[in-house]
């Protein structure tokens, strides 16, 4: 064995190399403050290892990037751990870079003859930040997509070459396949190669000049191995432990472990929760202070100047007070970055719109996971699954198109109560406004934080107007219909209370006739309601409808009979030319509802009596797919994953 | 300053002590741990393909009996089925091809893949046999090896055929491992 090593040494000289590597002198003995460079080397190695394994499963294109990352994260054995390590080690690197830079500046390790090595470090810092930026886009989820879009748009305001630069980086005028291939080539090829070269140079020069010892030396010199290596290894272990903790942390809150993966990027889907990763938040916040036309100062000029100062630190240090200036600059810079980061986080915490956006983003992220698991992902990509999902699109379509008149459980489908604003005219009192708008004065006071209940002319008031049409949550269900044919509710806010049907025949019929029904008639009415609701074939009532099939048949016969008087105005399976109210054949079914939304003024529905509802299909306000999604959502018809029985 | 001296100074000779050994051992162990965790997490993902099984073979409707020439010469048909490729599930995608021919009142189905190294074999109507364009394996009309000099270790892989509803040809489509004399499902 020994002779083999000797043979090898004779040809490579590895023993001398190893000896030099391991027995580097550490003046004044090993210290904890020297560990930062080693932890960075360690994290870099971790990123190379995990990055190459991720590479084996990643596919950079608009229809496969998110999909392959989904596959790594949720389908491949150990994928969540691998991606988690890569993701959180990247974050740890940014922290360690700052610590390393601080140690170098505090110990004056940038001074002669180590200037060049300081610059190597300076460029390594920039390269690692570039890795973070490029890596953030690669999963092609909503968050990375919109945040990176902001970053590349900022790039475009660079004077003279901005738009060309942007086009080159994103591979064309728009985000797409070539944005991903280019970012991936940068992230996994160009940047790592540059980093390897610079790290080798960095370590070579570090060894050449030796360690910058902290004075006064407390102990005699020692060798790198094993004293300093042990401290370095402990520090690396601490970094790894922190990374593993961050990966497992979601478990503590009952979520899946690992790095986050949002919903797939979709240029047609707004994303108000777009924020850069936390270590770039300070820049994000900084830009808020530059009004239109001056962004170039906040985005390009000032950051470049700051980087310029950082670059020239070795020269600045030569002045008498230079070292103190450098330290002061560094602490001021980090304090500023810290303050801006805190301001950004605080602003988001205060902003309810942002909270709603984050919730909606989490809902989409969870939903796409369910859909991808259940149906697999079509070649058109995962975003198309979400686009065709009533559970995802229904509430959005409702909020945009229906919620100005209708409500869904009292809100707009997305959890918000529609609000309008109005300007107070001179001499108007709150009571008058409340009366004019038909709302409760107390609600106005609460909504506008008016402690004394007084308003001034010109003041802008928020007002939650009454719904002009029915509340559609549970539409066509037995419960919903029971409320409709209830004398106490039919002219209330959830049904016809604020529509022109308040004065119509149906309301009169319910308020006069139904209100005086005998017990026997009420029983019959229940059967009619069950039968009418059965027409809708709602998913939520499938079991109930099957259980009570004879009752439904009976109810159907009653509905068609003269006794219940429904067919005086409505058609039911028998075309009635004189019908003045919506046809009840297939009432609430998908086909019925799609037709209704398409054209409520069709003679099958309200005809000429249609209140303000728009002809969403006939007037091409919504396309057939959107109307179908809306109908499916209102009918509660969407894919639901089988519930895994709760673990005891 | 003694900076220059530092670079020149030689390391103090390591003195073997119990304390020193403990340090060396713990440094080595810790170093190994921090290196091995990311490596193992990567290897688990790397080995994931070993957990995945090929899709179960099933009978698929391939052609109509009327489409097969009466003279018993073969005709190539694509086999279309739904397919799972990692994250993608695609309905009705070509997953392979077969040669179908009438053979004595029955239908014979041969996988087009050469059992030697997996190339797509051609049918040569002149010699009434199959020829592999890669390494010149030759097969008879029946799919058997036609010449002793043929590099293929076995004849073309015959697939199970069922005739359904009188005229539908259903084939149990399967691929087999190439390069072996025995026919083992891939």
A40-49, A384-393, A452-461, A468-477: which range is least confident on average? Answer: A452-461
pLDDT mean across residues, chain A: 92
Three-state DSSP class for B131? Answer: strand
Under an 8 Å CB criterion, which residues of B touch A? 3, 6-7, 9-12, 14, 20, 23-24, 26-28, 30-31, 33-35, 37-39, 41-48, 51, 84, 86-90
pLDDT at B10 over 90: no
Could you tell me if B44 and B77 lie in one domain?
A: no
Coarse DSSP helix, strand, coil percentages of chain A, rounded to the nearest 5 percent: 60, 5, 35
Chain B residues lying within 8 Å of A39, measured CB to CB: none
Interior/surface letters A28-52, b for 16+ CB within 10 angstroms, e for the rest:
bebbeebbbbbbbebbbbbbebbbe
The dihedral formed by the CA atoms of A540, A542, A548 and A550, expressed in degrees to the nearest 10: 140
B180, part of any domain: no
Closest chain B residue to A27, measured at CA = B6
Could you tell me if B124 and B71 lie in one domain?
A: yes
Between these two residues, A45 and A453, which has the higher pLDDT value?
A: A45
How many domains are contained in chain B?
2
**Average confidence (pLDDT) over A214-242:** 90
Instruction: Find, among A447, A224, A489, A258, the residue nearest to A369 by Cα.
Output: A258
Instruction: Find, among A458, A481, A456, the residue nearest to A470 by Cα.
Output: A481
Inspect the interface and report whether the beta carbons of A49 and B42 lie closer than 8 Å.
yes
pLDDT at A482 over 60: yes
- Rounded to an integer, what distance in angstroms lies between the CA atom of residue B60 and that of residue B77? 12
Chain A residues lying within 8 Å of B88, measured CB to CB: 67, 376-379
pLDDT at A421 over 90: no
Return the axis-axis angle of helices A35-55 and A229-252, rounded to nearest 10°. Answer: 50
Could you tell me if B48 and B130 lie in one domain?
A: no
DSSP string, A115-141: HHHHHHHHHHHHHHHHHHHHHHHTT-B
Q: Are A131 and A198 in contact (CB under 8 A)?
A: no
B40 CB-near residues (< 8 Å, 6+ apart) = none
Split at pLDDT 50, 70, 90, the class of A437 is confident
Could you tell me if B95 and B160 lie in one domain?
A: yes
> Which of A29, A49, A115, A245 to substitute to test the interface with B, most B CBs within 10 Å?
A49
- Rounded to an integer, what distance in angstroms lies between the CA atom of residue B180 and that of residue B153? 6
B72, part of any domain: yes
Chain B neighbours among A 370-409 (CB < 8 Å)?
372, 375-379
**Average confidence (pLDDT) over A287-307:** 91
pLDDT at position A97, please? 96
- Give the strand pairing for B138-140 and B158-159: unpaired
Inspect the interface and report whether the beta carbons of A68 and B3 lie closer than 8 Å.
no
pLDDT at A215 over 90: no
**pTM of the predicted structure, to 2 decimals:** 0.89
| CATH code where residue B120 lies | 2.102.10.10
B6, part of any domain: no
Interface size A-B, in CB pairs within 8 Å, comes to 125
Q: Does A227 touch chain B (CB under 8 A)?
A: yes
pLDDT at position B15, please? 55
Q: Are B138 and B130 in contact (CB under 8 A)?
A: yes
Chain B neighbours among A 45-104 (CB < 8 Å)?
45-46, 49-50, 52-54, 56-57, 64, 67-68, 70-72, 75-79, 81-82, 85, 89
DSSP string, A150-185: HHHHHHTTSTTTHHHHHHHHHTSSS-SHHHHHHHHH
Residue A365 CB burial class (10 angstroms; 0-12, 13-18, ≥19):
middle
pLDDT at A398 over 60: yes
pLDDT at A645 over 70: no
- Rounded to an integer, what distance in angstroms lies between the CA atom of residue A106 and that of residue A89? 25
**Average confidence (pLDDT) over A491-513:** 91
pLDDT at position A29, please? 86
pLDDT at position B3, please? 40
- Rounded to an integer, what distance in angstroms lies between the CA atom of residue A30 and that of residue A35? 9
Could you tell me if B113 and B76 lie in one domain?
A: yes
B2, part of any domain: no
Inspect the interface and report whether the beta carbons of B41 and A236 lie closer than 8 Å.
no
Could you tell me if B47 and B73 lie in one domain?
A: no
Give the tens place of pLDDT for each residue, A258-275. 999 999 999 988 888 888
Distance of CA A419 to the CA centre of its chain: 24
B4, part of any domain: no
pLDDT at A647 over 50: no
Between these two residues, A215 and B77, which has the higher pLDDT value?
A: B77
- Rounded to an integer, what distance in angstroms lies between the CA atom of residue A379 and that of residue A626? 21
Q: Which two tokens stand for residue A393?
A: 């699109």
Last residue of a domain, one of B6, B24, B52: B52
SS (HEC) of A572-614: CCCCCCCCCCCCCCCCCCHHHHHHHHHCCCCCCCCHHHCCCCC
Q: Are B68 and B75 in contact (CB under 8 A)?
A: yes
Inspect the interface and report whether the beta carbons of A233 and B27 lie closer than 8 Å.
yes
pLDDT at position B7, please? 41
The dihedral formed by the CA atoms of A427, A433, A435 and A437, expressed in degrees to the nearest 10: 140
B48, part of any domain: yes
Chain B neighbours among A 111-130 (CB < 8 Å)?
113
Shortest alpha-carbon distance between residue B109 and chain A (Å): 30
Split at pLDDT 50, 70, 90, the class of B13 is low
Could you tell me if B110 and B164 lie in one domain?
A: yes
Instruction: Find, among A190, A178, A180, A182, the residue nearest to A141 by Cα.
Output: A180
Could you tell me if B46 and B75 lie in one domain?
A: no
Angle at B89 between CA B88 and CA B93, to 5 degrees: 110
Could you tell me if B166 and B121 lie in one domain?
A: yes
- Rounded to an integer, what distance in angstroms lies between the CA atom of residue B25 and that of residue A226? 9
The most confident of A68-72, A420-424, A555-559, A562-566, by mean pLDDT: A68-72
Shortest alpha-carbon distance between residue B96 and chain A (Å): 19
Alpha helices in chain B (DSSP H): 3-8, 18-46
Inspect the interface and report whether the beta carbons of B11 and A68 lie closer than 8 Å.
no
DSSP string, A426-450: TT--HHHHHHHHT--HHHHHHHTT-
Split at pLDDT 50, 70, 90, the class of B14 is low
Domain of residue B71, residue span: 59-172
B155, part of any domain: yes
B73, part of any domain: yes
DSSP string, A226-262: IIIHHHHHHHHHHHHHHHHHHHHHHHHTTSPPSS---
Could you tell me if B98 and B40 lie in one domain?
A: no
- For each of the domains in chain A, give its residue range(s) and CATH number, in order of start: 22-267 (1.20.810.10), 506-634 (no CATH)
Distance of CA A450 to the CA centre of its chain: 34
Inspect the interface and report whether the beta carbons of B37 and A27 lie closer than 8 Å.
no
Could you tell me if B35 and B88 lie in one domain?
A: no
Between these two residues, B159 and A414, which has the higher pLDDT value?
A: B159
Closest chain A residue to B88, measured at CA = A377
Closest chain A residue to B84, measured at CA = A376
pLDDT at position A643, please? 64
Chain B residues lying within 8 Å of A19, measured CB to CB: 11
**Average confidence (pLDDT) over B49-75:** 90
Q: Are B139 and B156 in contact (CB under 8 A)?
A: yes
Chain B residues lying within 8 Å of A79, measured CB to CB: 45, 48
Q: Are A586 and A572 in contact (CB under 8 A)?
A: no
Could you tell me if B65 and B25 lie in one domain?
A: no
pLDDT at B6 over 80: no
**Average confidence (pLDDT) over A194-205:** 96
**Average confidence (pLDDT) over A112-136:** 95
pLDDT at position B43, please? 97
pLDDT at position B83, please? 87
């Amino acid at each position: 064995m020994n002779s083999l090593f000797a043979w090898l040494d004779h040809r490579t000289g590895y023993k001398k190399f190893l000896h030099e590597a391991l027995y580097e002198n550490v003046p004044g003995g090993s210290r904890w403050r020297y560990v930062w460079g080693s932890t960075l080397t360690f994290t870099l190695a971790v990123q190379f290892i995990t990055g190459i394994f991720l590479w084996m499963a990643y596919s950079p294109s608009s229809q496969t990037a998110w999909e392959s990352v989904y596959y790594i994260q949720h389908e491949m054995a150990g994928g969540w751990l691998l991606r988690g390590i890569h993701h959180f080690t990247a974050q740890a690197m940014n922290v360690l870079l700052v610590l390393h830079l601080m140690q170098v500046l505090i110990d004056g390790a940038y001074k002669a003859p180590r200037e060049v090595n300081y610059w190597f470090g300076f460029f390594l810092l920039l390269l690692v930040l570039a890795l973070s930026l490029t890596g953030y886009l690669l999963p092609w989820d909503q968050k990375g997509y919109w945040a990176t879009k902001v970053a590349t748009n900022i790039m475009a305001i660079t004077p003279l070459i901005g738009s060309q630069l942007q086009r080159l980086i994103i591979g064309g005028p728009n985000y797409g396949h070539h944005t991903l291939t280019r970012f991936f080539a940068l992230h996994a090829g160009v940047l790592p190669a540059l980093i390897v070269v610079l790290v080798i140079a960095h370590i070579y020069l570090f060894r050449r000049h030796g360690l910058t010892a902290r004075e006064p030396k407390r102990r005699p010199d020692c060798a790198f191995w094993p004293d300093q290596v042990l401290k370095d290894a402990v520090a690396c272990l601490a970094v790894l432990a922190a990374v593993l903790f961050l990966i497992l942390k979601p478990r503590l809150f009952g979520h899946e472990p690992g790095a986050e993966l949002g919903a797939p990027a979709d240029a047609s889907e707004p994303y108000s929760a777009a924020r850069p990763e936390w270590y770039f938040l300070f820049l994000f916040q900084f830009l808020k202070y530059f009004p239109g036309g001056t962004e170039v100062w906040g985005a390009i000029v000032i950051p470049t100047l700051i980087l310029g100062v950082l670059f020239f630190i070795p020269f600045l240090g030569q002045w008498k007070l230079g070292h103190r200036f450098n330290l002061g600059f560094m602490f001021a810079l980090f304090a500023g970055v810290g303050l801006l980061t805190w301001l950004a986080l605080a602003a988001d915490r205060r902003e309810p719109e942002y909270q709603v956006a984050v919730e909606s983003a989490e809902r989409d992220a969870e939903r796409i996971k369910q859909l991808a698991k259940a149906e697999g992902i079509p070649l058109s990509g995962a975003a198309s699954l979400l686009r065709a999902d009533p559970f995802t699109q229904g509430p959005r379509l409702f909020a945009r198109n229906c919620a100005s008149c209708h409500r869904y459980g009292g809100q707009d489908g997305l959890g918000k109560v529609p609000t309008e604003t109005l300007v107070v005219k001179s001499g108007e009192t709150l009571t008058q406004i409340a009366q004019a708008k038909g709302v409760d004065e107390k609600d106005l006071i609460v909504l506008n934080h008016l402690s004394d209940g007084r308003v001034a002319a010109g003041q802008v008031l928020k007002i939650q107007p009454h719904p002009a049409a029915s509340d559609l949550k549970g539409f066509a269900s037995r419960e919903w219909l029971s409320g409709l044919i209830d004398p106490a509710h039919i002219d209330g806010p959830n049904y016809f209370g604020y529509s022109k049907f308040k004065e119509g025949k149906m309301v009169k019929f319910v308020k006069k006739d139904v209100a005086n029904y005998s017990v026997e008639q009420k029983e019959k009415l229940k059967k009619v309601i069950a039968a009418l609701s059965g027409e809708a074939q709602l998913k939520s009532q499938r079991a109930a409808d099957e259980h009570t099939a004879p009752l439904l048949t009976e109810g159907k016969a009653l509905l068609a009979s003269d006794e219940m008087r429904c067919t005086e105005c409505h058609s039911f399976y028998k075309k009635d030319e004189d019908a003045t109210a919506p046809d009840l054949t297939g009432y609430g079914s998908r086909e019925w509802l799609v037709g209704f939304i398409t054209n409520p003024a069709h003679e099958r529905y309200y005809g000429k009596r249609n209140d303000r509802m728009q002809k969403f299909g006939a007037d091409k306000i919504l396309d057939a797919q959107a109307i179908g999604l809306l109908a499916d959502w209102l009918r509660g018809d969407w894919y639901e994953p089988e519930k895994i029985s709760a673990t005891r | 300053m003694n900076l220059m001296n530092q670079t020149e100074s030689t390391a103090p000779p390591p003195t073997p002590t119990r304390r020193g050994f403990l340090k060396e051992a713990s440094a080595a162990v810790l170093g190994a741990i921090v290196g091995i965790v990311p490596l193992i997490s990567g290897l688990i993902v790397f080995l994931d393909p070993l957990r995945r099984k090929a899709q179960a073979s099933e009978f698929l409707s391939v052609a109509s009996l009327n489409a097969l020439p009466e003279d018993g010469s073969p005709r190539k048909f694509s086999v279309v089925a739904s397919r799972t490729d990692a994250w993608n599930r695609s309905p009705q995608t070509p997953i392979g091809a077969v040669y179908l021919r009438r053979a004595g009142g029955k239908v014979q189905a041969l996988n087009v893949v050469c059992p030697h190294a997996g190339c797509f074999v051609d049918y040569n109507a002149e010699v009434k046999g199959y020829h592999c364009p890669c390494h010149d394996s030759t097969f008879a009309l029946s799919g058997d090896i036609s010449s002793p000099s043929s590099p293929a270790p076995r004849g073309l892989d015959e697939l199970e055929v069922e005739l359904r509803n009188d005229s539908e040809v259903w084939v149990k489509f399967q691929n087999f491992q190439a390069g072996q004399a025995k026919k083992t499902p891939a």
